[in-house]
Amino acid sequence: MQTIDNYNFDGKKAIVRVDFNVPLDDQFNVTDDNRIRGALPTIKKIIGDGGSAILMSHLGRPKGEPQEKFSLKHVVPALSDHLGVEVQFADDCIGDEAREKSEALQPGEVLLLENLRFHSAEDKVKTPEEQKATREFAEKLAGYADVYVNDAFGTAHRAHASTAVIADFFEEDAKMFGFLINKELKAMDKVLKESKSPFTAIMGGAKVSDKIQVIENLLDGVDNLIIAGGMTYTFIKAQGGEIGNSLCEEDKLELALEVIKKAKAKGVNLVLPVDQVLADDFNNEAKTMITPIMQGKEGYMGLDIGDETIKLFSDVIMKSNTILWNGPAGVFEMPNFQKGTVAIAKAIAESTSKGAFSLVGGGDSVAAVNKFGLADKISYVSTGGGAMLEYIEGKELPGIKAIKG
């Protein structure tokens, strides 16, 4: 397999799938440039070698039509600043302008194509061709360049035109991963294949159903599995606890009991919360009380873990050598229910400072470590939520397979 480290881009045009799906404010300023910064090493390597880079990405979920709020032209100023190169822009990813600008691109120059999802197929539902993954669309994009680089880990679990199909149009030695994808894969393999015991996974967030596959897969590798957040309550109800109005997936009660049984059989220490912060409304100003986890209250819902649980979880995290975290411990978007999530983030940061390897992924956990200013104290913060979960589930990611074979 071709690797980016030993490829010389001199005189080559590279088409690079990046993940510029970044948040914009009302004035279309980029409010979090993490993903832009993530793509810089690859772009710099290409232009530094004397090549030119044609960048493509999606932004948001447009329905196959151009929309100002999803235009990638808003990314140009921030990207130009970071690169120190005036980035050119093509108003459509396909068509004369994009083709001519790609053809005219000189060594050291960078061209960004408009949102890949602005282009819809001629069907009734207007599915963007990018997501329909049509060969014609992928072939047109491929036609701009000599070499294809995929550096968009966040969309590696999607079999789209620019993430997977396009690779078919390049020879073995003219397609490769960028530095970001390489880093992501290395960090995940460090956790999944070379974890140092004790290995603790912390699974939080709203739903058991979203993460059950991951949880089952992790049971084969972890020493401790901490369950937190809204998904706790399906486990509590399954064991006969009172949960009041807390989140619960009634159709997953059996499955929760199965997980408990499997964990026991595999010798995994399954750690559930022991106390909780109850609220009489889904609201930051709600009336609250702390109760044991099995004793919820009618009319109340559990929105965060309590102090005893914080201590219990922190102790486990502090004794770990490998830590994987996905999903918050409570409704951390509301200040009154963020304490548990902050405590977990801090414990992971502290354990990392003592030598543990920590990997945090998933939109909300990443938002949490950023919000609390702890991102640089984590060994690796993943740029891909869904992609990371699917990789941990043991699935083959189409964007990875397209290059790796």
Binding of ligand AMP at residue 51 (CB under 6 A)? no
Binding of ligand AMP at residue 340 (CB under 6 A)? no
- H-helix or E-strand spanning residue 176: strand 175-177
Q: What is the dihedral of CA 363, 366, 367, 373, to 10 degrees?
A: -170
Binding of ligand AMP at residue 230 (CB under 6 A)? yes
> Which residues are paired to 15 by β-bridges?
54, 148
Binding of ligand AMP at residue 210 (CB under 6 A)? yes
Residues labelled catalytic: 35, 207, 363, 386
**What are the structure tokens assigned to 390, written together?**
């699917």
Minimum CB distance to ligand AMP, residue 337 (Å): 8
- The residue whose Cβ lies closest to ligand AMP is 205
Piece in contact with ligand AMP (CB under 6 A), picked from 14-22, 326-334, 348-356, 371-379 = 326-334
Cβ atoms 207, 333 nearer than 8 A? no
The interface with ligand AMP within residues 266-305 (CB under 6 A) comprises 302-303
- H-helix or E-strand spanning residue 233: helix 232-238
Minimum CB distance to ligand AMP, residue 363 (Å): 7
What's the burial of 318, exposed, middle or buried (CB within 10 Å: 0-12/13-18/19+)?
Answer: middle
Binding of ligand AMP at residue 331 (CB under 6 A)? yes
Number of chain residues interacting with ligand AMP (CB under 6 A)? 16
Minimum CB distance to ligand AMP, residue 236 (Å): 11
Minimum CB distance to ligand AMP, residue 299 (Å): 15
Binding-site member from 92, 280, 333, 350 for ligand AMP (CB under 6 A): 333
Cβ atoms 175, 148 nearer than 8 A? yes
Binding of ligand AMP at residue 362 (CB under 6 A)? yes
Binding of ligand AMP at residue 384 (CB under 6 A)? no
The contacts of residue 179 (CB under 8 Å, 6+ apart) are: 4, 41, 42, 45, 151
Helix (H, G, I), strand (E, B) or coil at 81: helix
Binding of ligand AMP at residue 247 (CB under 6 A)? yes
Piece in contact with ligand AMP (CB under 6 A), picked from 23-31, 163-171, 202-210, 389-397 = 202-210
Q: Which residue, 328 or 399, is less far from ligand AMP as judged by CB?
A: 328
Binding-site member from 38, 62, 128, 205 for ligand AMP (CB under 6 A): 205
> Which residues are paired to 31 by β-bridges?
none
275-279 and 301-305: which strand pairing? antiparallel
Q: Which residue, 64 or 204, is less far from ligand AMP as judged by CB?
A: 204
Binding-site member from 229, 384, 398, 399 for ligand AMP (CB under 6 A): 229
The contacts of residue 157 (CB under 8 Å, 6+ apart) are: 384, 386, 387, 390, 391, 395, 397, 398, 399
Q: Which residue, 42 or 338, is less far from ligand AMP as judged by CB?
A: 338
Piece in contact with ligand AMP (CB under 6 A), picked from 6-14, 24-32, 99-107, 329-337 = 329-337
Cβ atoms 290, 275 nearer than 8 A? yes
CA distance 314 to 163: 39
Binding of ligand AMP at residue 154 (CB under 6 A)? no
What's the burial of 370, exposed, middle or buried (CB within 10 Å: 0-12/13-18/19+)?
Answer: middle
Q: Which residues bind to ligand AMP, rule: CB under 6 A?
A: 205-207, 210, 229-230, 247, 302-303, 327-328, 330-331, 333, 362, 364
